[in-house]
Chains A and B, each alone.
Chain A
Amino acid sequence: MFKKLNNIGDCGIVCDFGEEVNREINSNVIKLFHHVKEEVLKGNLNGILNYTPSYNKLIINFDLEKINSSQIINFLKSVDFSKLNLFQNSKKWTIPVCYDFELDLENMSKKLKINKDEIINIHLNTDFFVYMIGFIPGHPFMGDLDSKLFLNRLKTPRVKIPPGSVGIVEKFCNIYPYESPGGWNIIGRTPTKLFNKENETNPCLLSPGDSVKFKSISKEEFKKLSNE
């Protein structure tokens, strides 16, 4: 299953599943991520500190005082992927989005030669898969968008993007959890909070491996939901 298992530094392991970005490869990353996380919660893997999935890799960080690379590699080699279930720990979400808050649809429409409504429809009809979350807290990288909507990042990133902005780049869709700089093409905004510091047990709404579908809402509904 692994293409490579290597140490990164003296307190990390990289589980490399291959070069491509696709759901099959990422599914295996996510399966292993859930498995490691569960084993840690059950207390079967003492000393593991973090498990970070990305498109094609899982990085495991550990406390070198309690466990070392070769012990973790032995554990990883014993994992039977055929027994891991991708969906038992994954959730399905519907996230409301108000497309009236777009910033780039006009330009995108020109570049892609697809009208605005069609872009929105493609986005609404896509079943997104959360490949990974990161860079800043709660920030999801979701795919796959139809190749018809393939766009690069903005040439000049914006200095400030409002929180909740929904963006697309290449075959991916993101949501900015905080006001931040960014170079994605913004097609709308969601009132849903992706990272909630008030919720200690579950601060992050989405988790790698979850599925997301968007639902179009009006400005009025956006306002109402924002105040909830």
Chain B
Amino acid sequence: MSNYFFEVLRPGINTTFQDKGRFHMQHFGVAPGGCMDLKLFSIANALVKNSLNEGVLEFAYQGPLLKLVKGKTKIAITGNVLFQVTKLNQEGINGECNRTYALDEGDQIDILATKQSAYGYMALEGGFDIKPFCKSVSILSRAQIGPNEGQKIKINDKINIRINSKNKKNFLTKVPKKNKSTIRVLKGPQFDYFSKESQKDFFSKEYKISNLTDRMGMRLEGTVMKNIVSTNIRSEGITKGAIQIPADGQPIILLTDYPTIGGYPKIANVTSADYNLLIQKTPGEKIFFELIKLREAEQLYKELLNSISEIIKNIKEIN
């Protein structure tokens, strides 16, 4: 293990290590987890020239305040994030997202807030020195699985860094802002459990994101869905983005840290192309659902991946 590390002066609300997730274990009850926003996660790693599946710090709303106690490193923060970089014995400067900063011993990075969004990422050149469990460093805090004993980052934690950075060059890229209130979905396996009127309402009425929203799920408030068949089904495997309707008729969207099996009927499933947009919505925001076909969803996902590649290709050195 290296001797280079950050000290956590303030942990933030929900700060965890994440990569793309832990797979081939859902049949043991282990959800894949992983980064909520694949796009921002990938760009953060690309900026510091890491492999695109390297573990990063993910934070939500208020991020951490970190002090580089030993070593030199380079970081990149992605998202719509308000943060400050404080060089030793100097005033803090407001940081810009989607670019790198070289940090020296004693420097601090203060991630104050995500603006009009939920999640942001901090990648580190060479990566964090953390122990994977079953090939992934993603923390699944609900099951206490992953590095840091499967727990969220706490105050006074030591965060080890793998390499001492020698490279002082900095890089940046442009990430076009995307914001829309319409989330495209596919029909769920129990779509026919709901009355014709409810099916119509689901695709025309607005739904408000409630406070009961975290990495596991997003509860919505809006027009009640009327189940005309059965409010319980036999427990079956869950897929990310499934929109289930429990007996009270209010939708719950199952997110990245979902329970591996569940017994509520699912009216729809969020498309992979719009998942990143959905999870960045914050409580109080309103969304609409639009029904599309499978082929279209597949095509839209390809377009999303292409747009990420394009952003990564456009990473340029700062002169």
A residues near B (Cβ < 8 Å) are 6-12, 14, 19, 21, 33, 37, 40, 49-59, 61, 64-65, 68-69, 132-139, 141, 178, 195, 197, 200, 203-204, 207-208
Contact = CB atoms under 8 A, between A and B. Distances in A.
A54 B236 contact: yes
A222 to B, nearest CB: 24
Interface residues of B, number: 42
Contacts of B134: 200, 203
B57 to A, nearest CB: 22
Contacts of B26: 50-52, 61, 134
Interface stretch (B27-35, B94-102, B219-227): B27-35
Nearest to B132: A200
Nearest first, the 10 A-B pairs at minimum CB distance are A59-B237, A52-B237, A9-B269, A204-B28, A50-B26, A12-B239, A134-B261, A134-B260, A10-B297, A134-B29
Contacts of B142: 136
B27 A69 contact: no
Given A64-B301, A133-B29, A9 B271 contact: yes
B239 A59 contact: yes
14 contacts: A7-B186, A9-B242, A9-B271, A11-B240, A11-B272, A14-B189, A49-B24, A50-B23, A52-B238, A54-B261, A59-B239, A61-B239, A133-B29, A134-B28
Contacts of B27: 33, 37, 50-53, 132-134, 207-208
B23 A10 contact: no
Contacts of B24: 37, 40, 49-50
A54 B237 contact: yes
Interface of B: 23-30, 32, 133-134, 142-145, 150, 186, 188-189, 234-242, 259-261, 266, 269-273, 294, 297-298, 301, 305
A11 B261 CA distance: 16
Contacts of A6: 189
Contact of B261 (A135, A138, A178): A135
Given A9-B272, A61-B239, A52 B261 contact: yes
A203 B28 contact: yes
B29 A9 contact: no
A161 to B, nearest CB: 16
A37 B150 CA distance: 26
A137 B30 contact: yes
A49 B136 CA distance: 13
B294 A10 contact: yes
A64 B270 CA distance: 14
